[in-house]
Amino acid sequence: MAVGTVTSSPLGPPANEKDAKALQFIEEMTKNCDSVQENVLCEILTQNAEAEYLQKWNLGGATDRKTFKSKVPVVSYDDLQPYIQRIANGDRSPILSSHPISEFLTSSGTSAGERKLMPTIAAEMDRRQKLYSLLMPVMNLYVTDLDKGKGLYFYFIKAETKTPSGLVARPVLTSYYKSNQFKTRPYDPYNVLTSPNETILCVDSFQSMYSQMLCGLIYREQVLRCGAVFASGLVRAIKFLTLNWKQLALDIETGFLNPKITDQDIRACMSKILKPDPNLARFVRDECCDENWEGIITRIWPNTKYLDVIVTGAMAQYIPILDFYSGNLPQTCTMYASSECYFGLNLTPMVKPSEVSYTIMPNMGYFEFIPHDSANSVTKPNNDSPSQLLDLADLELGKEYELVISTYSGLCRYRVGDILRVTGFHNSAPQFKFIRRKNVLLSIDADKTDETELQSAIEKASELLKEFNTAVVEYTSYGDTKTIPGHYVIYWELLVKDPGHGPSHQVLDQCCLAMEECLNSVYRQSRVADNSIGPLEIRVVKNGTFEELMDYAISRGASINQYKVPRCVSFTPIMELLDSRVVSTHFSPSAPHWVPERRF
């Protein structure tokens, strides 16, 4: 079947026998969604019946949905934090789960400036692996011959740390890439990567990226698909090529690896792959020397059939640049997952990004849904209104819901914070468009900055202005992804009481850094270790600009009484208004502080 074709019956015919089994599994799960969910909840409650958390809610051994919903409250991270802290401190009693906690997964969502810690159990790794194993069988339905070449995927691990009790804490993907399930995966012709494990398993992001790109260039004719987990990762990889092509070409010409690559495992594995190839070096130079990056992906990797990157949610901002780099290759979003739980997959991965829907696999956990309108009223135990939360089988087409999960690792009725809209059904399983993550104001890469964090960062930075008798009277922000890497832009309107002694350019530069120091650890890690976010920028605007902004909003129908300054903007006319009033721009003069160790 040709690329881009979508069948009305998405799950057949399979490309091979292994795929047939995977597709059959999806069919079974989605046909029996409700009974699978019933069983999953029963299994979770049986498995964790002795855990302190479930004991507290007096289920009395019940494993049915009605009792569960009426006795166990809906919670968010802060409610569970004391339990999680005890596990981190070394309490080995069954607190959330009866199974031993194997490690902590550090989510990109933060609490008090640090990544949230999600305790997980060993069996979850197999569940995640199971979901991964379904992705290629679905893709093979739409794109043929993916067994005839390789995938160029930029995958990275991040620094890990240990809790006071010695449990490892790391992002879920780091945990997965370091697992035996990944490292010793059996050969699968449909899933051959250009990046050897050694290049992925290096925590230094430069060395990892460099060696993965080098392999991508060496195997360029075999590459059939290019990807990264999130779109921001692929954009960063291409930017890396634009900055490092000369050295990469030199390595290829001479067969000697850049001495900046000091990781011994990478050097050892590259010594088997990198051989002098002057023709390839010439090709890379010819393609890159005029610094025209339009269509660079298809020029370097001409056999690429699609880009495999998540471009839904906050990542949609990268669609235009990926179109530019790839000459409009299809961008496929295959999977929807989180540190807490892997949720599901896209059964029609070749659709346009704006039409992507994910099918939650009912075997992954027990899923409940808060109708979005009432989402704000159920932060407390919902004993008064147990029916408020709906099951997968109860959802209605076109409605929006907030996702609530219960997992084998012991999260019970946990609010993930994602808002989803039902766009259709596969068998009896609803399919969801990812609408947004609640409370996220700014996001460039994995970072998620909310309004309170931005507000405190601004308060902190404005302390530097006090001695100049200056205050920030209004502000708003913008995630600028026109630069690569993208960066936060903060618009400030200042009140300078003594114009003769206002803050200098340097002081305002320092304000940028002061803000960055205040932002959460995911932001600072992206700035320092991953280089996936550029220096924060403050744009000082003329006095009266925010009043003009209000006039503009009111002219478009906003109510004067209810008008609030938007704390994040992206609408072009507003951006144009703000940018036309800029009197000075300032950037962080250096990177903020970040160390892999975290506070526990």
Asked if residue 53 binds ligand AMP (CB under 6 A), the reply is no
- CA–CA distance, 436 with 401 (Å, rounded to integer): 11
Query: In the complex with ligand AMP, which residue's Cβ is closer, 313 or 479?
Result: 313
H or E element at residue 489 = strand 487-496
Binding region for ligand AMP (CB under 6 A) out of 101-109, 387-395, 523-531, 567-575: 101-109
Choose among 403, 417, 416, 309: nearest CA to 356.
309
Query: CA 487, CA 527: separation in Å to the nearest integer?
Result: 9
Q: Which of residues 319-358 bind ligand AMP (CB under 6 A)?
A: 333, 336-339
Tell me the site size for ligand AMP, rule CB under 6 A: 16
Which parts of 410-429 interact with ligand AMP (CB under 6 A)?
416, 418
The single residue among 30, 48, 97, 107 that binds ligand AMP, judged by CB under 6 A, is: 107
| Token digits of residue 240 | 């890396």
Binding of ligand AMP at residue 132 (CB under 6 A)? no
Q: How many residues in the chain?
A: 600
Q: Does 477 bind ligand AMP (CB under 6 A)?
A: no
- Fill in the amino acid letter for 158: K
CB of 130 to ligand AMP, least distance (A): 17
- Span of 48-56, 176-184, 219-227, 305-313 interacting with ligand AMP by CB under 6 A: 305-313
Could you say whether residue 172 binds ligand AMP (CB under 6 A)? yes
| 206 SS3 class | helix
Tokens at 567, concatenated: 């704390």
Q: How far is the CB of 357 from ligand AMP (least distance, A)?
A: 10
List CB contacts of 290: < 8 A, sequence separation 6 or more.
none
Examine residue 108 and tell whether it contacts ligand AMP (CB under 6 A): yes
For residue 425, list its beta bridge partners. 430
Under 8 Å between Cβ of 227 and 154: yes
Q: How far is the CB of 349 from ligand AMP (least distance, A)?
A: 11
Residues in contact with 120: Cβ distance below 8 Å, sequence separation at least 6, in sequence order = 101, 102, 103, 104, 105, 175, 409
Radius of gyration of the chain (CA): 25
Q: Measured from the CB atom, is 108 or 120 closer to ligand AMP?
A: 108
In whole angstroms, the minimum distance from the beta carbon of 418 to ligand AMP comes to 5
- Which of 109, 534 has the CB closer to ligand AMP? 109
Closest to ligand AMP by CB, 437 or 524? 437
* Candidate residues 434, 478, 492, 523; the one interacting with ligand AMP per rule CB under 6 A: 434
Nearer to ligand AMP, 336 or 492 (CB): 336
Nearest approach, Cβ of residue 459 and ligand AMP (Å): 27
What DSSP letter does each residue of 275-322 carry, written as one string?
---HHHHHHHHHHHTT---TTHHHHHSTT--EEEEE-SGGGGGGHHHH
Least Cβ distance, residue 227 to ligand AMP (angstroms) = 13
481, 317 contact by CB (below 8 A): yes
Q: Closer to ligand AMP by CB, 18 or 438: give it.
A: 438
CB of 312 to ligand AMP, least distance (A): 4
Q: Which is nearer to ligand AMP, 38 or 418 (CB)?
A: 418
| CB-nearer residue toward ligand AMP: 149 or 313 | 313
Q: Which is nearer to ligand AMP, 227 or 313 (CB)?
A: 313
Q: Please tell me the distance from the alpha carbon of residue 216 to that of residue 454, in angstroms, as a whole number.
A: 39
DSSP-H helix ranges across 154-277: 172-177, 180-183, 197-200, 205-218, 231-254, 264-273
DSSP β-ladder status, 342-345 and 366-371: unpaired
Q: Which is nearer to ligand AMP, 62 or 440 (CB)?
A: 440
* Interface residue list for ligand AMP (CB under 6 A): 107-109, 172, 310, 312-313, 333, 336-339, 416, 418, 434, 437
